[in-house]
């Protein structure tokens, strides 16, 4: 099998990691009973930046740290695996600040063609971009607090990670 550079990197990293791995005893439910919802941005290292040890917490990632997009995983985390707190972290320089739904639809049309564009319309896909960072954090925290799928007992905080400084500051 021919391996791409990315695939070769997985193989070599795996060999190094497994050679000294000693965490095979960890339980399935997160030991510190919380979940972190953050963006998929390549510049964010949740474990290092937010102090998460292996086995501590669920880390849910998607484009923009969208609570709407993450709802399925949030419910599984809380109802099936016992987490009781949410730390939601968006970040400066997020790609989601740079476009609107219409722009994304147009890009898909240009790059992938009419059939792909039609599928987006059929699916009514919302890319969930946001124009204002701190407002988006507050709105997503509100969404989770209002949802009947998230119990009132769940502690929810909203934060901004600064890709320029490595700092994480609380918004709500």
**Minimum CB distance to Zn ion smaller for 30 or for 49:** 49
State the Cα–Cα distance between residues 82 and 151, nearest whole angstrom: 12
Query: In whole angstroms, what is the distance from residue 86 CA to residue 71 CA?
Result: 12
x-marked contacts with Zn ion along 54-93 as a string, rule CB under 5 A: ----------------------------------------
Encode burial over 12-50: b for 16+ CB neighbours within 10 A, e otherwise.
eeeeeeeeeeeeeeeeeebeebbbbbbbebeebebeebb
- Number of residues forming the site for Zn ion (CB under 5 A): 3
Decide if 50 contacts 90 (C-beta within 8 A). no
- Part in contact with Zn ion (CB under 5 A); list of ranges 5-13, 41-49, 111-119, 145-153: 41-49
- The DSSP output letter for 92 is T
Segment near Zn ion (CB under 5 A); pick from 6-14, 40-48, 125-133, 145-153: 40-48
Binding site: what residues are annotated?
39, 41, 91, 94
Is 39 a binding residue for Zn ion by CB under 5 A? The answer is yes
Question: Residue positions in the annotated binding site for Zn(2+)?
Answer: 39, 41, 91, 94
> Looking at the DSSP assignment, which residues form a beta bridge with residue 62?
39
> Can residue 140 be called a binding residue for Zn ion (CB under 5 A)?
no
Give the x-and-dash track for 88-117 against Zn ion (CB under 5 A): ------x-----------------------
Q: Write the CB contacts of 125 (distance below 8 Å, at least 6 apart in sequence).
A: none
Pick 57 or 96: Cβ nearer Zn ion: 96
The residue ranges that bind Zn ion (CB under 5 A) are 39, 41, 94
């Amino acid at each position: 099998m021919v391996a791409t550079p990315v695939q070769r990197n997985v193989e070599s990293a795996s060999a190094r990691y497994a050679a000294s791995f000693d965490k095979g005893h960890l339980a399935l439910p997160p030991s510190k009973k919380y979940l972190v919802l953050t963006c998929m941005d390549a510049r964010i290292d949740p474990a290092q930046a937010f102090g998460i040890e292996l086995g501590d917490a669920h880390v849910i990632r998607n484009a923009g740290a969208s609570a709407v997009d993450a709802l399925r995983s949030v419910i599984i985390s809380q109802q099936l695996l016992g987490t009781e707190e949410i730390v939601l972290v968006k970040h400066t320089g997020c790609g989601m600040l740079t476009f609107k739904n219409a722009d994304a639809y147009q890009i898909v049309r240009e790059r992938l063609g009419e059939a792909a564009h039609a599928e987006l319309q059929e699916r009514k896909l919302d890319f969930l971009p946001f124009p204002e960072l701190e407002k988006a954090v507050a709105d997503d925290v509100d969404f989770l607090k209002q949802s009947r799928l998230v119990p009132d007992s769940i502690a929810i905080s909203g934060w901004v990670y600064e890709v320029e400084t490595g700092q994480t500051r609380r918004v709500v």
